[in-house]
Chains A and B, each alone.
Chain A
Amino acid sequence: MQRSLVVAFVAALLLGGGCASVQPWERGTLAKPSMSAEDPPHESAQKLRTYGAKEAGAAATGVGGGGCGCN
């Protein structure tokens, strides 16, 4: 499964390379608050920490944050 994840990641990168450029003046919709791909920092941090304490799986969401004795 590890190899499958890496292959899927590389395939996604290659597919993304075929996208046409979006000019800065065409990004009005992308600039809407509802289109933000990031959750607010406090919300995101607590959500990921809760999942990390209650689930054994993981997601590729970034690094940092330290550990805890979460039971």
Chain B
Amino acid sequence: MTLPGIHARAEAPGANPWQLDASHLEYSESGSRMNVRVNQASAVAPIGDAFQIRANGIQDVISGASPQFNAPGPGGKPQQVLTGASVRDRRNAGDIGIAGTFGETQATLRQGWSKENDYKSTWTSLEARHDLDRKNTTVAAGIAFSDDGVSNHDTPDDFHTRIKRDLFVGVTQLIDERSLFEVSLEYSYSNGFLSDPYKLVFVQSGGLLPDSRPAHRRQLAATAKYVTYVPAIDSALHATASLSTDNWGIDSGSVELQWKKELPAECLVSAGLRYYTQSSADFYAPLFQDQPGDARSSDYRLAGFGSVAWLAGVSKQLTPNFGVQLVAERNYRRLGLKLGGTGIDADDYLWTLYQVTLEARF
């Protein structure tokens, strides 16, 4: 769900149009790792002038290997061990919602489901935003609840429960005729089975143990965005910064800068850079020398690391009713960019995604 913002562009055609979007995405990782193919379709049907029914469907096809644990290599240096056989999984997800506008307030209620061989999820969310001072200020708030079940390929029907709750508040403020600012805060609390059923940890003195994470996770994140138009280059500049912290000891930060420019024939091009960094979890170690405690993980995603990425996009309005968008991103994960904690450079890799979206508005 995107951050509610204000965009004063008049909808064309009509104030409450039918909307149909379809997209295809290809995601791939270096080192013969994961590949994901995503197809998504969404629709918005107006009901009168003030209400909309919204529906969304997604199918992921996942294949390839993923890191399972680290083991001592030559000279004792940790090296990554991938899953032996190529994984192939399919995820089907969908959600349906209703949105209503009541004066200066808009509210959206959504119900969603997701199912794959070893994971199922049911979630509900409610978001609302309210315009103040003739839309100079927009305040937004949201709440979501997710009830998930986690199993594994060996025992696909043996599900462990994972519950997540999210609270969100945000404000968008016009600064002047060509600038705006957004700031938001989000709190998440998860409990239950939060471990990864496929990850292992290597103990020098005892062999392999399953990944085991604390049963509670509390995470707080803040995001700020500044958007401004620069007449000298006839372009918009977007700057987004985020910080987060949690009770697992993981602190993170990111900065993204984007340049967006409109070209003739209703084209829009964009280019940007993103920097991300995080510290490692308190219970993370690449390898364990002695028998670890109840909480233990060598998951590369809980290590200390950073990344830099380039982003690019182009969109074109083909007719008043049809548009197309292409976006690409390449992300380089690097141990040397970590915020703190520990990690190994054997976990470094790059991922790339390409996405094409067709939009129809009637």
- Do residues B119 and A43 form an inter-chain contact, with CB atoms below 8 A? no
8 Å CB contact of A34 from B60, B219, B245, B261 = B261
Query: How far is A41 from B21 in the complex, measured between Cα atoms in Å?
Result: 9
- Do residues A46 and B87 form an inter-chain contact, with CB atoms below 8 A? no
Evaluate whether A46 and B222 lie within 8 angstroms (CB atoms) in the complex, with A19-B174, A26-B177, A66-B123 already known.
no
- Do residues A59 and B242 form an inter-chain contact, with CB atoms below 8 A? yes
8 Å CB contact of B223 from A29, A53, A59, A67 = A59
8 Å CB contact of B5 from A37, A43, A55 = A37
Residue of A nearest to B134 (CB): A24
The list of the 9 closest CB pairs from A to B, nearest first, reads: A57-B252, A64-B125, A69-B119, A63-B144, A60-B186, A37-B5, A62-B1, A59-B242, A34-B236
8 Å CB contact of A71 from B3, B34, B148, B351 = B34
* Chain B 1-35 interface residues, beta-carbon cutoff 8 Å to A: 1-10, 21, 23, 25, 27, 34
Query: How far is A29 from B225 in the complex, measured between Cα atoms in Å?
Result: 18
- Do residues A5 and B220 form an inter-chain contact, with CB atoms below 8 A? yes
B98: Cβ under 8 A from any A Cβ: no
Evaluate whether A35 and B243 lie within 8 angstroms (CB atoms) in the complex, with A2-B220, A45-B2, A62-B4 already known.
no
Query: How far is A44 from B315 in the complex, measured between Cα atoms in Å?
Result: 14
* Chain B 338-362 interface residues, beta-carbon cutoff 8 Å to A: 351, 353, 355, 357, 359
**Number of B residues, CB within 8 Å of A:** 118
- Do residues B244 and A36 form an inter-chain contact, with CB atoms below 8 A? no
Query: How far is A5 from B218 in the complex, measured between Cα atoms in Å?
Result: 14
* Pairs A–B under 8 Å by Cβ, sample size 23: A12-B224, A24-B135, A34-B261, A34-B268, A35-B178, A35-B229, A35-B260, A42-B42, A42-B355, A45-B2, A51-B276, A54-B301, A55-B307, A56-B302, A59-B186, A62-B2, A63-B127, A64-B1, A64-B125, A65-B112, A67-B146, A68-B114, A71-B198
Contact with B along A1-33 (1 / 0, CB 8 A): 110011011001100100111111011111111
- Do residues B1 and A65 form an inter-chain contact, with CB atoms below 8 A? yes
Residue of A nearest to B268 (CB): A33
Of B45-53, B70-78, B99-107, B165-173, the segment with at least 4 beta carbons within 8 Å of chain A is B165-173
- Taking A5-B185, A5-B221, A63-B168 as given, write out 17 further A-B residue pairs in contact, using a Cβ cutoff of 8 Å, ordered by the A residue number: A5-B243, A16-B181, A22-B176, A24-B135, A31-B10, A39-B2, A42-B21, A42-B23, A46-B38, A55-B278, A56-B252, A57-B278, A59-B223, A62-B170, A68-B91, A69-B116, A71-B196
* Chain B 272-305 interface residues, beta-carbon cutoff 8 Å to A: 276, 278, 281, 301-302
- Do residues A30 and B178 form an inter-chain contact, with CB atoms below 8 A? yes
Q: Kindly provide the distance from the CB of B55 to the nearest chain A CB, expressed in whole angstroms.
A: 12
The interface residues of chain A, by DSSP majority, are classed as loop
Evaluate whether A13 and B171 lie within 8 angstroms (CB atoms) in the complex, with A5-B222, A37-B182, A62-B127 already known.
yes
The interface residues of chain B, by DSSP majority, are classed as strand
Chain B residues with CB under 8 A of A33: 9, 262, 268
Residue of B nearest to A46 (CB): B25
The residue in A13, A33, A37, A39 that gathers the most chain B C-beta atoms within 10 A of its C-beta is: A37
- Do residues B133 and A29 form an inter-chain contact, with CB atoms below 8 A? no
B210: Cβ under 8 A from any A Cβ: no
8 Å CB contact of A1 from B7, B235, B251 = B251
Q: Kindly provide the distance from the CB of B282 to the nearest chain A CB, expressed in whole angstroms.
A: 12
Residue of B nearest to A53 (CB): B301
Q: Kindly provide the distance from the CB of A6 to the nearest chain B CB, expressed in whole angstroms.
A: 7
Q: Kindly provide the distance from the CB of B178 to the nearest chain A CB, expressed in whole angstroms.
A: 4
